[in-house]
Amino acid sequence: MGKNQSSFSSDEIFEEDELYEHFHFSVDSGQTPLRVDKFLMNRIENATRNKIQKAAKSGNIKVNDKVVKSNYKVKKGDTIKILFSHPPYENLLIPEDIKIDVIYEDNEILVVNKEAGMVVHPGHGNYSGTLLNGLINYFKKLPLNLDNRPGLVHRIDKDTSGLLVIAKTEESMVSLTKQFHDKTSSRKYFALVWGEVKNENGKIEGNIGRSLKNRLQMAVFPDGDYGKIAITKYKVIERLGYVTLIECELETGRTHQIRVHMKHIGHTLFNDIRYGGDIILKGTIFSKYKQFVSNCFSILPGQALHAKTLGFTHPKSKKWLEFDSDLPNDFVKLISKWKNYAVHKNI
């Protein structure tokens, strides 16, 4: 393991009688001495230093089960726990009347087409209005996964649209989770990326882990000394001048995998705010072009990424199922606008 690294789980875990959100970190041997507030800032998304210091003053930061101050220096072998004021996770799992686009349903599974902008499950900063809140309203009872999230086998980012499979029974949860773990399922995405992708197809291999420079981003570690192995295959669907429409197939399922891998090879997703795709990365300096790109950004408010197809073996019938979804209207409109530009280039 490299310098300043740690293995951690930032999923929400809640103590039975407290109203706190609980993050747990195990510091590995590569960690150099660092103040615990800075250490936590680098690892908890949306947590400000002020919020972390308040947690310390309230006695809600523990190292090796002992309360510490914000200036405590973390060291290898430390186990760090932090609690934030927040309703318990189980209190967030309440039914909400949320429209769900159901693609397929039987007694074992449900396949849904998530719209961009919808968070998959409640968590830090997103406590209601999620897909999971809608699913609980739809089903009333679903099996729990390893993170106690009912029905969820996998997830996609808030601003990514597309297909998700939901387990309706314990048997389906076990079967589908194993398929995703063993990489026997199939997931293909459409993405619009900046630049002209040189090769018609390719494979990106490089470990993905939390960035050591920007705590809000994931990053590629090609030497394999940090993060988890990640493999993305891609092929060009259409070349549209300064952008390219591609299809990506996941062999692994890491956080932000396509977004991080494509940026790594120099083709950041169009309008990907977190990874710098919301600025003009390719094109001319003319004002009409700048206005054109600005108009394109307004069409699709998040990254241009859609989980288009999903394939897996049915947990009970053992038959291979594959589902396909149409691109959202705003994504289609965005592509059409770039097609028109690519043909004329006189804007």
Q: What is the mean pLDDT of each run of 10 residues along the chain (347 residues)?
A: 35 29 74 86 74 84 90 90 64 80 94 93 73 85 67 90 94 93 95 96 94 85 88 97 97 94 98 96 90 95 96 97 97 97 71
Boundary-marking domain end, from 128, 162, 182 = 182
Do 28 and 161 share a domain, yes or no?
no
Instruction: Give pTM, 2 decimals.
Output: 0.75
Q: Is residue 1 part of a domain?
A: no
Q: Is residue 18 part of a domain?
A: yes
Do 85 and 115 share a domain, yes or no?
no
Q: Is residue 335 part of a domain?
A: yes
Do 268 and 303 share a domain, yes or no?
yes
pLDDT score, position 89? 52
CATH of the domain at 175: 3.30.2350.10
pLDDT score, position 212? 83
Boundary-marking domain end, from 135, 155, 182 = 182
Do 153 and 109 share a domain, yes or no?
yes
Domain extent for 134: 93-182
Do 248 and 201 share a domain, yes or no?
yes
Q: Is residue 130 part of a domain?
A: yes
Which sequence positions are flagged as catalytic?
Answer: 157
pLDDT score, position 284? 87
Do 211 and 323 share a domain, yes or no?
yes
pLDDT score, position 128? 76
Do 117 and 84 share a domain, yes or no?
no
Boundary-marking domain end, from 182, 207, 232 = 182
Do 204 and 308 share a domain, yes or no?
yes
Do 40 and 16 share a domain, yes or no?
yes
Do 126 and 275 share a domain, yes or no?
no
Give the 3-state DSSP-derived string for the chain, with helices as H, strands as E and coil as C: CCCCCEEEEEEEECCCCCCEEEEEEEECCCCCCEEHHHHHHCCCCCCCHHHHHHHHHCCCEEECCEECCCCCEECCCCEEEEEEECCCHHHHCCCCCCCCCEEEECCCEEEEEECCCCCCCCECCECCCCHHHHHHHHHCCCCECCCCCECECCCCCCCCEEEEEEECCHHHHHHHHHHHHHCCCEEEEEEEEECCCCCCEEEEECEEEECCCCCCCEEEECCCCCCECCEEEEEEEEEECCEEEEEEEECCCCCCHHHHHHHHCCCCECCCCCCCCCCCCCCCCCHHHHHHHHHHHHHCCCCCEEEEEEEEECCCCCCEEEEECCCCHHHHHHHHHHHHHHHHCCC
Do 230 and 172 share a domain, yes or no?
no
Give the chain's domain count.
3
Do 146 and 291 share a domain, yes or no?
no
